Amino acid sequence: MNKKSMSRFIACLMVFIMVFAFSPAVMSQAATKKTSYTYTIYLRSKDAYSDFTQISVPNATKLTNIKSSKKSVAKADGYYVSNNKNNNTYYDNAGKETNKYNDSYICANLNVILNKPGTSIISFKDNKKNSYEYKYVIKDYVNPVKTFQLARSGVTSANYAKYFNNGTESSKSVKIDKNGTVKLSVAAKKGWKITGIHMHNSSWSSKASEYGSRGKEIMGGADKATLSFPGYNTKWDGNVTVTFENKNDGATLSVNLPIKNNSTKK
């Protein structure tokens, strides 16, 4: 092969390499990705199966190839797309426009129904051909509460832990005898830790002054936790929510105890 032929061959080869390297099909394939997650979820009640969760996919406008490996355990149940747009214009005190800010957020949300204990994989693709796999390990409900005491300061409380034997929503409500500081003391069962504790007291009215909330998140979790609510008003309803995390699998359960008001209807 002479020098002229060799030059032509090299030139053609370079063109072929450039066309192949930058072809849309190859670039698209390189841009796609596969994401996998594994979640352990405890059902929130012993009395009835069929719980639910949701998978959110940011920047997705469409989901395709939606599959459930074991529908009797967990199955996909349709999706919806949220599209929020914010257009903000800022002005100075004289009314002169100083800045504009446009913000938008779009997200596809896939509903997942949890039917019974077991393992099921939910898989799908988004409109950019990215692939997703969500492995759900579903477990029966267990009561994570060892001790749950709630009473006005100076009053001895019963242990309401058994109120959560059948589910995260207490089977009964409690009452506080009169206004004052209400104290909450909670302990987790072995294998669980407390990560959040909150108490609310509300008239469910439009008066902000008649609504109160106290709470805290516990970094790293704790076996025991306490919370005080000064000025609790027994005229209004309230509730307590405590979040527990399993030390082995990282799954969470939030239990809720309603506090009934002491108002008397005439």
- Domains parsed from the chain with CATH numbers: 33-139 (2.60.40), 145-260 (2.60.40)
CA 33/CA 25 separation, integer angstroms: 14
Residue 137's alpha-carbon distances to 46, 73, 134, 165, in angstroms, are 17, 9, 10, 22
* Residues 6+ positions from 209 with CB-CB distance below 8 Å: none
Q: Is 99 exposed, middle or buried, given 0-12, 13-18 or 19+ CB atoms closer than 10 A?
A: exposed
- Whether 245 and 252 have beta carbons less than 8 Å apart is answered as yes
What are the angstrom distances between the C-alpha of 245 and each of 215, 219, 258?
17, 12, 21
In this prediction, residue 87 has a pLDDT band, given cuts at 50, 70 and 90, of: confident
56: tokens are 């959110």
Upper half-sphere CA count for residue 76 (Cβ side, 13 Å): 23
Q: Say whether pTM exceeds 0.85.
A: no
| 50: region left, alpha or beta (phi > 0 left; psi from -120 to 50 alpha) | left
Q: Report in angstroms the alpha-carbon separations of 255 from 144, 218, 263.
A: 9, 16, 25
Query: Which residue has better confidence, 205 or 115?
Result: 115
State pLDDT tens for residues 140-162: 999 999 999 999 999 999 999 99
Q: How confident is the model at residue 9 (pLDDT cuts 50, 70, 90)?
A: very low
- Pairing mode, strands 180-188 and 224-232: antiparallel
> Is residue 145 a contact partner of residue 241, using CB atoms and an 8 Å limit?
no
